[in-house]
Amino acid sequence: MARVVLVGQNSDLRKRLEEVAHTAGLDLISFPGVEALAVSEPPAVLVVELELKGAIDGVANCKRRWPACMVIGAMRLPIQELWHAAVAAGADLVSNWGALPRQLQHRLEAYQRGESLVPKAVRIKVMLYDRQGDGLVGRLPDAQGGPVAVFRIDQKLCAIRDVCPHEGASLADGQVDGKVLTCPRHGSQFHVCTGSRLRGPADYSIRTYRVVIEDGETFVEL
Ligand code: FES
């Protein structure tokens, strides 16, 4: 049976999500923390309370492990940095506790009609700058889900979400040294190909995207 899995500790949220899941004919199981999460089969939906310790890494790990699972970040209060971080980690939806049950209900109704819970990846063509060497080679400033920057590092193309998880600066304007990208505003550092955070003040890593080259054209999969 398809399941909704909740990683969280708030009993009201659990109760409301349980009602929504049952209405859609889905079971709901919950775990008190990311480290306690133990499921053998991929859930249809995973909801993670973002204020929990390790929640952002949990979102990123689960999305990597179960790409077809709809991963939702649930916040008690809308904190912009945490919101950006959850999106950057790959959350398909970020919402506050009050709005989430209704949003999930709508998604599950669509799911029952046969729609996918997770939107299919969209390929966007990117025009690369005519330049040699490593560094920034392309941008998608208006991409769905936020701006994207494309870098060439050791002949490999790497695409990242062009928003610093600290205070939102454009990372395309940062400095690249080897594989280390430094944010131009306060100096946070990230691995430009894996998105991993190397140094704060940013607390979180950045989202990366697959780059595909076909018939001499370059695409980013969003
Ligand atoms: S905005 Fe990037 S480090 Fe502050």
Ligand 1 centre and the CA of 169: distance in Å? Answer: 6
My answer on whether 130 and 94 are in the same domain is no
Closest of 171, 131, 122, 116 to residue 149, by C-alpha: 171
Give the strand pairing for 217-221 and 197-199. unpaired
98 and 198 together in one domain: no
Range of the domain at 162: 123-221
**Does residue 74 share a domain with residue 144?**
no
Token reading at 113: 């009609």
94 and 18 in a common domain: yes
Question: Does 191 reside within a domain?
Answer: yes
Nearest CA to ligand 1 atom 1: 167
Same domain, 8 and 105: yes
Q: Any idea what the CATH number is for the domain that residue 199 is in? A: 2.102.10.10
Asked whether 144 and 222 are in contact (CB, 8 A), the reply is: yes
Q: Are residues 192 and 139 in the same domain?
A: yes
Q: Are residues 140 and 106 in the same domain?
A: no
User: How far is the centre of ligand 1, averaged over its atoms, from the C-alpha of 140 (Å)?
Assistant: 20
DSSP 109: H
Average pLDDT, the chain: 91
The per-residue pLDDT for range 17-76, each reduced to its tens digit, is 999 999 999 999 999 998 888 888 899 999 999 999 989 888 988 887 888 899 999 999
d(CA 183, CA 173): 8
Same domain? 152 vs 69: no
Q: What is the pLDDT of residues 107-146, one digit of tens each?
A: 999 998 988 888 777 899 999 998 788 899 999 999 877 8
Is 16 a domain residue? yes
Supply the DSSP symbol for 25: T
Q: Is 164 in the pocket of ligand 1 (CB under 6 A)?
A: yes
* Residues 107 and 129 occupy one common structural domain: no
Residues in Cβ contact with 65 at an 8 Å cutoff, skipping those fewer than 6 apart: 42
Q: Which of 81, 183, 199, 203 to mutate to test the pocket of ligand 1 (most atoms within 8 A of CB)?
A: 183
> In terms of Cα–Cα distance, which of 26, 27, 24 is closest to 110?
24
Q: What is the total count of domains within the chain?
A: 2
Q: Please tell me what DSSP assigns to residue 161.
A: E
The last residue of one of the domains, among 112, 133, 162, is 112
**pLDDT tens-place string over residues 165-191:** 888 899 999 999 999 999 999 999 999
Looking at the domain assignment, is residue 117 inside a domain?
A: no
Task: Find the farthest-apart pair of alpha carbons in the chain and give their distance in angstroms, rounded.
Answer: 57
CATH number at residue 14: 3.40.50.2300
Q: Are residues 15 and 98 in the same domain?
A: yes
